[in-house]
Amino acid sequence: MGAQIRVYRRKIASTSSMKKIFKAMEMIATSRINRARRRSNETGPYANALTRAVSAVATQTSITHPLISDGSESRRSAVLVMTSDMGKAGSYSVNAIKKAEGLIERLRQDGREVELYIVGRKAQQYYDFRNRTYEKVWTGDTDNPHVETAREIGEVLLDRYSTPYEEGGVDDLHIVYTQFQSMVSQEPKILRLLPLTVVDAKEMGEEIVPGEDVSDDEFDNAASFEFEPSAEEVLDQLLPRYIETRIFSCLLQAAASELASRQRAMKSAGDNADDLVKQYTRLMNNARQAEVTQELSEIVAGADSLAAS
């Protein structure tokens, strides 16, 4: 067998074994997207209840709480970027990082210092490679986030936020995550988590769970809420929960987006592998045909020269 044919045969074998891997990864991603979306939806009622409660306290009472009062000027910001641990998800992480870079640039132009917090190994690699500093990084469960991770992130960021600027604290807090819009469309988004902008509960609810209704009628007589034990204490207790829940729902959205991107990337990789196999098969057939033709003409030439002698 000719060398050419052997080369092509080897290429076909390795491409089709890679295709199997792509196929498997695509299937894993597909099955996990549904789970990630289900988890994202399941936290919806709790997140909505929290949102309603927090905005009930925040809108009605005239108390000033550091977490809602909008600092007149902001001098240092914290940015939390959510990316994936693993590659093979197309441009998922790159898009989130780009969005974050744009935000950081804007904040810097406003004359603020920026502290960076990272979720996912991809962003860590990005900033390590460029020798840029970041404060803290969480990795290991980007495609299946745990509540504990969200709680830890929430605690760290809340602690940074509670520290006054003069002692090195931050004045506001932004999250860059990828919103899951549909299986084919995921968009990186910026969310300002702190200080809380007190908005209408419905609006906030929609941000947490797209498509889920927060009924307005429950809120109509909200002005007369009684707080137990007191409005300040309720807010003190609820806000950390609220922030942690917001972070968790962002993590879940990001996870669903990551898996959807991965599924799409692996699908096109599998399709490309198919095309390559087809191409190599044709080239291999060409090579075989050429070899056969050459052998034939050699035999004929040999017979001719024998007959002539």
Partner 1 sequence: MASVLKVEVVSREAVVWKGEAKYVRARTAAGDIGVMAGHAPTLALLAEDGELVIDPVDGERKTARLQEGFLTVSNDSVVIAATSSSDL
Q: Which residues bind partner 1 (CB under 8 A)?
A: 42-43, 45-46, 49-50, 52-53, 56-57, 147, 217-222, 224-229, 233-234, 237-238, 241, 245
Minimum CB distance to partner 1, residue 61 (Å): 10
73 versus 228: smaller Cβ distance to partner 1: 228
List all residues 6 or more positions away from 24 whose beta carbon is below 8 Å from its beta carbon: none
Minimum CB distance to partner 1, residue 226 (Å): 5
148 versus 187: smaller Cβ distance to partner 1: 148
Minimum CB distance to partner 1, residue 174 (Å): 24
Minimum CB distance to partner 1, residue 65 (Å): 15
Q: 152, 72, 83: which is closest to 124 by C-alpha?
A: 83
155 versus 295: smaller Cβ distance to partner 1: 155
List all residues 6 or more positions away from 121 whose beta carbon is below 8 Å from its beta carbon: 83, 84, 85, 86, 139, 142
21 versus 53: smaller Cβ distance to partner 1: 53
Minimum CB distance to partner 1, residue 195 (Å): 21
62 versus 72: smaller Cβ distance to partner 1: 62
Pair of tokens at residue 60: 């009605």
Question: Is residue 135 within 8 Å of residue 153, measured between CB atoms?
Answer: no
Collect contacts of 270-276 with beta carbons under 8 A, ≥24 apart: 270/19, 270/22, 270/23, 270/26, 273/15, 273/16, 273/18, 273/19, 273/22, 274/19, 276/11, 276/15
Strand partners, 207: none
Residue 246 carries which DSSP code?
A: H
Question: Is residue 123 within 8 Å of residue 97, measured between CB atoms?
Answer: yes
Q: What's the Cα-to-Cα distance from 227 to each of 27, 51, 67, 234, 255, rounded to whole Å?
A: 50, 16, 18, 7, 36
Minimum CB distance to partner 1, residue 57 (Å): 7
164 versus 229: smaller Cβ distance to partner 1: 229
